[in-house]
A and B are shown apart, each in its own frame.
Chain A
């Protein structure tokens, strides 16, 4: 089974802090994704990566950046955390094209910015 592991289940950070959310997958998948999930808004794509060092913006990239130095690891960075970034963050990976490949998700990181 594909395993997508997010380093933290819960995080509490202060406004203005730099925050790193880490995600590792163990199935050699090309694609990795970061979503945020908010009540009433569903899942919104922040960034995705289709190869090492490659990234593309999703629907809501503002205030975020990403890093993919190794195929198995995809990091989401909040350069200066703000309270409106309090949310559930979900990492996912897939093999092949997003077009027809199921996503494999991690358990999520619930981030609170105070």
Chain B
């Protein structure tokens, strides 16, 4: 199975800050990398697919980049409603595997 290493596991930032989360795959997954957001007590929701494609309706302050084994998720200008845990997920090979998550808190 492909292992996904996500970092940091948690972070605290101020409104307006730029936040960056990284995800590393244990082998080349091309661009088969997705990012999900899970707000407290809610189901996950897809934000970005195929490393950089923003889902319809997702604010443009969210972005993704990378290919191969190294990927980055960025929130430009953090907002209070961005309080959530964010997960990367690869789907190059079955089983699909998730990173451990990054809990984003607002200072």
Q: Do A and B come from one complex?
A: no
